[in-house]
Amino acid sequence: MLKALQIEPEKCTGCLQCELACSFQAEGVFNPSKSRIKIFTFHDEGRFVPYTCTQCSEAWCMHACPVEAIVFNDRTGAKEVLADVCVGCKVCTIACPFGTVNYDQDDKVAYKCDLCGGAPECAKACPTGAITYVDADHTGLARMRAHAAKTANVGASA
Protein backbone atom coordinates (compact mmCIF):
# COMPACT_ATOMS: atom_id res chain seq x y z
CA MET A 1 0.00 0.00 0.00
CA LEU A 2 1.39 3.38 -1.00
CA LYS A 3 1.30 6.13 1.56
CA ALA A 4 1.18 9.88 1.12
CA LEU A 5 1.82 12.95 3.24
CA GLN A 6 -1.38 14.43 4.53
CA ILE A 7 -1.23 18.04 5.63
CA GLU A 8 -3.81 19.69 7.88
CA PRO A 9 -2.78 23.36 8.11
CA GLU A 10 -5.30 24.17 10.85
CA LYS A 11 -3.24 22.07 13.26
CA CYS A 12 0.10 23.76 12.44
CA THR A 13 1.68 26.12 15.03
CA GLY A 14 4.59 27.20 12.82
CA CYS A 15 7.25 25.68 15.10
CA LEU A 16 9.46 24.37 12.26
CA GLN A 17 10.15 20.99 13.88
CA CYS A 18 9.39 19.50 10.44
CA GLU A 19 11.95 21.74 8.74
CA LEU A 20 14.54 20.84 11.36
CA ALA A 21 13.86 17.12 10.97
CA CYS A 22 13.89 17.32 7.16
CA SER A 23 17.15 19.23 6.96
CA PHE A 24 18.81 16.96 9.50
CA GLN A 25 17.76 13.85 7.54
CA ALA A 26 18.86 15.28 4.21
CA GLU A 27 21.93 17.34 5.15
CA GLY A 28 23.10 16.07 8.53
CA VAL A 29 22.73 19.49 10.18
CA PHE A 30 19.81 21.48 11.59
CA ASN A 31 19.17 23.97 8.82
CA PRO A 32 15.62 25.04 7.92
CA SER A 33 16.94 26.85 4.82
CA LYS A 34 17.68 23.41 3.31
CA SER A 35 14.35 21.85 4.24
CA ARG A 36 12.25 20.19 1.52
CA ILE A 37 9.10 21.02 3.46
CA LYS A 38 8.39 24.68 4.22
CA ILE A 39 6.06 26.38 6.67
CA PHE A 40 4.42 29.51 5.34
CA THR A 41 3.18 32.08 7.85
CA PHE A 42 0.26 34.31 6.94
CA HIS A 43 0.72 36.64 9.86
CA ASP A 44 -2.27 38.93 9.39
CA GLU A 45 -4.60 35.94 9.15
CA GLY A 46 -3.00 33.93 11.96
CA ARG A 47 -2.40 30.95 9.66
CA PHE A 48 0.53 28.58 9.25
CA VAL A 49 0.65 26.27 6.26
CA PRO A 50 3.13 23.41 5.70
CA TYR A 51 3.80 22.81 2.02
CA THR A 52 5.90 20.29 0.13
CA CYS A 53 5.90 18.03 -2.96
CA THR A 54 2.71 16.02 -3.42
CA GLN A 55 4.48 13.44 -5.64
CA CYS A 56 2.32 13.95 -8.76
CA SER A 57 1.68 10.80 -10.79
CA GLU A 58 2.53 12.46 -14.10
CA ALA A 59 5.23 14.58 -12.51
CA TRP A 60 6.05 17.74 -14.49
CA CYS A 61 9.56 17.80 -13.03
CA MET A 62 10.28 14.22 -14.09
CA HIS A 63 9.02 14.77 -17.64
CA ALA A 64 10.89 18.03 -18.02
CA CYS A 65 14.28 16.71 -16.93
CA PRO A 66 16.52 16.40 -20.03
CA VAL A 67 18.95 13.94 -18.41
CA GLU A 68 16.45 11.69 -16.61
CA ALA A 69 17.84 12.63 -13.21
CA ILE A 70 14.38 12.48 -11.62
CA VAL A 71 13.15 8.93 -11.17
CA PHE A 72 10.06 7.22 -9.85
CA ASN A 73 10.48 5.09 -6.73
CA ASP A 74 7.76 2.48 -7.16
CA ARG A 75 8.06 1.36 -3.54
CA THR A 76 7.25 4.78 -2.04
CA GLY A 77 5.71 6.66 -4.95
CA ALA A 78 8.30 9.41 -4.55
CA LYS A 79 9.94 11.22 -7.43
CA GLU A 80 13.61 11.30 -6.45
CA VAL A 81 16.47 13.43 -7.74
CA LEU A 82 19.62 11.49 -8.62
CA ALA A 83 22.19 14.05 -7.51
CA ASP A 84 25.03 12.48 -9.47
CA VAL A 85 23.01 12.58 -12.71
CA CYS A 86 21.48 16.06 -12.22
CA VAL A 87 23.29 18.75 -14.22
CA GLY A 88 21.70 21.67 -12.36
CA CYS A 89 19.85 23.05 -15.39
CA LYS A 90 16.84 24.01 -13.19
CA VAL A 91 14.26 23.14 -15.87
CA CYS A 92 12.46 21.01 -13.27
CA THR A 93 12.14 24.04 -10.96
CA ILE A 94 10.41 25.87 -13.82
CA ALA A 95 8.23 22.91 -14.76
CA CYS A 96 6.83 22.28 -11.28
CA PRO A 97 3.56 24.24 -11.00
CA PHE A 98 3.82 24.24 -7.18
CA GLY A 99 7.41 25.36 -6.65
CA THR A 100 8.34 22.33 -4.60
CA VAL A 101 11.46 21.46 -6.63
CA ASN A 102 14.30 23.85 -5.88
CA TYR A 103 17.96 24.40 -6.69
CA ASP A 104 20.68 24.12 -4.05
CA GLN A 105 23.34 26.71 -4.79
CA ASP A 106 25.88 24.98 -2.53
CA ASP A 107 25.53 21.48 -4.02
CA LYS A 108 24.60 22.83 -7.48
CA VAL A 109 21.81 20.30 -8.03
CA ALA A 110 18.01 20.25 -7.79
CA TYR A 111 16.47 18.94 -4.59
CA LYS A 112 12.97 17.94 -3.52
CA CYS A 113 11.07 15.78 -1.05
CA ASP A 114 11.82 12.06 -1.46
CA LEU A 115 9.56 10.89 1.40
CA CYS A 116 12.77 9.88 3.24
CA GLY A 117 12.59 6.50 1.51
CA GLY A 118 9.17 5.77 2.98
CA ALA A 119 9.46 7.07 6.54
CA PRO A 120 9.15 10.85 6.35
CA GLU A 121 10.92 12.58 9.23
CA CYS A 122 8.66 15.66 9.06
CA ALA A 123 5.61 13.59 9.98
CA LYS A 124 7.50 11.95 12.85
CA ALA A 125 8.64 15.31 14.21
CA CYS A 126 5.35 17.22 13.95
CA PRO A 127 4.06 17.69 17.52
CA THR A 128 0.45 18.46 16.59
CA GLY A 129 -0.40 15.92 13.88
CA ALA A 130 -0.54 18.61 11.18
CA ILE A 131 1.64 16.36 9.01
CA THR A 132 0.82 12.66 8.88
CA TYR A 133 1.77 9.82 6.55
CA VAL A 134 -1.34 7.86 5.58
CA ASP A 135 -2.88 5.48 3.04
CA ALA A 136 -2.44 7.24 -0.31
CA ASP A 137 -5.90 6.19 -1.45
CA HIS A 138 -7.56 7.83 1.51
CA THR A 139 -5.86 11.07 2.46
CA GLY A 140 -9.33 12.52 2.84
CA LEU A 141 -10.52 9.91 5.29
CA ALA A 142 -10.16 12.02 8.45
CA ARG A 143 -11.97 14.94 6.84
CA MET A 144 -14.72 12.63 5.56
CA ARG A 145 -15.16 11.27 9.05
CA ALA A 146 -15.38 14.79 10.53
CA HIS A 147 -18.11 15.75 8.09
CA ALA A 148 -19.85 12.40 8.45
CA ALA A 149 -20.08 13.04 12.16
CA LYS A 150 -22.09 16.20 11.47
CA THR A 151 -24.58 14.41 9.21
CA ALA A 152 -28.02 14.23 10.77
CA ASN A 153 -29.68 10.84 10.80
CA VAL A 154 -31.94 8.93 13.11
CA GLY A 155 -29.70 7.37 15.70
CA ALA A 156 -30.15 5.75 19.07
CA SER A 157 -30.38 9.12 20.80
CA ALA A 158 -33.16 10.49 18.60
Partner 1 sequence: MAWAKKVMRVNLTTGRIGSEPLNMDWAMQYLGQRGLATKYLTEEIDPKCDALGPDNKLIMTTGPLTGTMASTAGRYSIVTKSPLTGCVACSNSGGFIGAEMKTAGWDMIIFEGKAPKPVFLHLENETAELVPADEIWGTSCWHADEWIHRKYQDPLMRIAVVGRSAEKGCLYAAVVNDLHRAAGRSGVGTVMASKNLKAVAIRGTRGVGNVRDITAFMAAVQKGKKVLADNAVTGQGLPRFGTNVLMNVINEVGAMPTRNMREVQFEGSSRISGEAMHEPRESDGKPNLVTNAGCFGCTIACGRISTIDRGHFTISNKPQYWGASGGLEYEAAWALGSDAGVDDLDALTYANFICNEDGMDPISFGSTVAAAMEMFAMGVITKQHTGGVELKFGSAEALCWAADVTARGEGFGLELGLGSKRLCEKYGHPELSMTVKGQEFPAYDPRGIQGMGLTYATSNRGACHLRSYTVASEVMGVPVKTDPLVTEGKAELVKAFQDATAAVDSTGLCVFTTFAWTMEDIAPQIDAACAGGWTAQKMLETGERIWNLEREFNLAAGISGKDDTLPDRMLKEAAKTGPAKGKVNNLHEMLPKYYEIRGWGRDGIPTNETRKRLGLKSGGLAA
Residues that bind partner 1 (CB under 8 A): 13-17, 20-21, 23-24, 27-34, 43-48, 125, 127-128
- Minimum separation from the CB atom of position 37 to partner 1 (A): 14
What lies within 8 Å, CB to CB, of 146 at 6+ separation is none
How far does Cα 107 stand from its chain's mean position? 21
- Minimum separation from the CB atom of position 81 to partner 1 (A): 19
Which C-beta is closer to partner 1: that of 29 or that of 158? 29
- Minimum separation from the CB atom of position 138 to partner 1 (A): 26
Beta bridge partners of 132: 6
Which C-beta is closer to partner 1: that of 14 or that of 118? 14
| Rounded (10°) CA dihedral 47, 50, 55, 61 | 90
Which C-beta is closer to partner 1: that of 9 or that of 77? 9
Sign, CA torsion 138/113/51/65: negative
- Minimum separation from the CB atom of position 27 to partner 1 (A): 7
How far is Cα 82 from Cα 131, in angstroms, rounded to an integer?
26
Which C-beta is closer to partner 1: that of 48 or that of 111? 48
Tell me 98's DSSP state.
T
